Amino acid sequence: MKNSSRQSSSTLNYVLLGALIVALALLPFVLPSYPLHLAVLILLYVYLGQSYNISAGFAGCFGFLHPIFIGTGAYTSTLLFTKMGLTPWLGMLAGAVLAVILSLPITYVAIRAKLPRLSFALITMAFVFIAVYAADSFAVLGGGDRGVQIPFRPGLANFQFSSKIGFYYIMLAMTITLMVVCWQMLRSRMGLYFRAMADNEKASEAVGVNLVKYNLIAMGISAFFTALGGSFYAQFVGSLLPSTAISLELMIGVILFLAVGGFGTFWGPVVGVGLLMPIGEILRSRLPQFQTLHLLLYGLIVIVILSVLPHGIMGYITSKLDRNH
């Protein structure tokens, strides 16, 4: 009887997920221009949140390298396009590979040195400040407020479109792909190792989990997908500055959304971004004289939710469902 109930629940989940995908696919046909722009941003934040969730949530490797990964993807695809005429589709793959290469030595040294998680987070934050300063020193990267402008040449090969619909469908496809990857990851042996490390590193190491290997894998996968998101961001915005391409503020926003939704949960990024971002945009549009009011509201929501639900909304729901089963 219990197996039948679980099977019915699983079937219902797949039906609901399929209905959600169909609804999202039809969304551009009913949304005006600005709400469609907002929908693209929501998908992008869900994507970046899930990318960060792989390393910080699933594996417990909490750090701030991801602004560098976003910048690596954004600058690599942009410069290869503007300087060499290489399609951004290849440039974004090159940027993703480069981000993985950059992630490995820093993570390796930190794990081998057995740095506490707080120390690792602070060291990686320092790397972000260094990266922003370095990028701001080079004219080719748009330093000194020069900016890097991406020439507007609409076409699928150039990753540019005359309307937001093209960007929407690409971001939707990227987000669905990442969600499928994470779903499979969580159901695999590697996902079990990630969860063990996130819960207790010493205990997981004691039962044979190779901390160095699986932390590197988690950070490498996270870096790869984050850099792809950075390339998309560059094409969507159409220009780059060091302060926006390597933005600690953007990543902190992603982390806040993820904390509300639930670190280490599959649906956490979707719930956190889906709850907070529309509220912020409504406040900005309805009360333009208070441009930072949404930040105050974000802070209050984070404080209230984490005070009541320390593991976020989906963390609470998941624990309740686990206890019921």
Same domain flag for 61 and 147: yes
Q: Is residue 13 part of a domain?
A: no
Q: Is residue 8 part of a domain?
A: no
Q: Is residue 194 part of a domain?
A: yes
| Domain boundary, last residue among 246, 279, 313 | 246
| Domain boundary, last residue among 202, 226, 246 | 246
What is residue 146's predicted lDDT score, i.e. its pLDDT?
84
What is residue 5's predicted lDDT score, i.e. its pLDDT?
46
What is residue 2's predicted lDDT score, i.e. its pLDDT?
45
Q: Is residue 57 part of a domain?
A: yes
Q: Is residue 41 part of a domain?
A: yes
Same domain flag for 181 and 56: yes
Same domain flag for 180 and 261: no
What is residue 1's predicted lDDT score, i.e. its pLDDT?
47
Q: Is residue 322 part of a domain?
A: yes
Same domain flag for 175 and 222: yes
What is residue 118's predicted lDDT score, i.e. its pLDDT?
85
Q: Can you give the residue range of the structural domain that contains 98?
A: 34-246
β-strand partners of 149: 239
The number of domains in the chain is: 2
b/e per residue 274-307 (b: at least 16 CB within 10 A): bebbeebbebeeeeeeeeeebeeebeebbeebee
Same domain flag for 126 and 206: yes
Same domain flag for 313 and 227: no
DSSP annotation of 160: B
C-alpha distances (whole Å) from 213 to each of 31, 97, 104, 117 are 45, 18, 10, 17
What is residue 11's predicted lDDT score, i.e. its pLDDT?
65
Tens digits of pLDDT across the chain (325 residues): 445 544 554 565 577 678 888 889 999 988 888 899 999 999 999 999 999 999 999 999 999 999 999 999 999 999 999 999 999 999 999 999 999 999 999 999 888 888 888 889 999 999 999 999 999 998 889 887 788 999 999 999 999 998 899 999 999 999 999 999 999 999 999 999 999 999 988 899 888 899 999 999 999 999 999 999 999 999 999 999 998 999 998 999 899 999 999 999 999 999 999 999 988 877 777 777 666 777 788 888 889 998 999 999 999 988 887 676 6
| Domain boundary, last residue among 226, 246, 266 | 246
Same domain flag for 281 and 270: yes
Same domain flag for 241 and 252: no
Q: Is residue 25 part of a domain?
A: no
DSSP annotation of 144: T
Q: Is residue 29 part of a domain?
A: no
Same domain flag for 103 and 239: yes
Same domain flag for 124 and 139: yes
Same domain flag for 210 and 251: no
Same domain flag for 173 and 83: yes
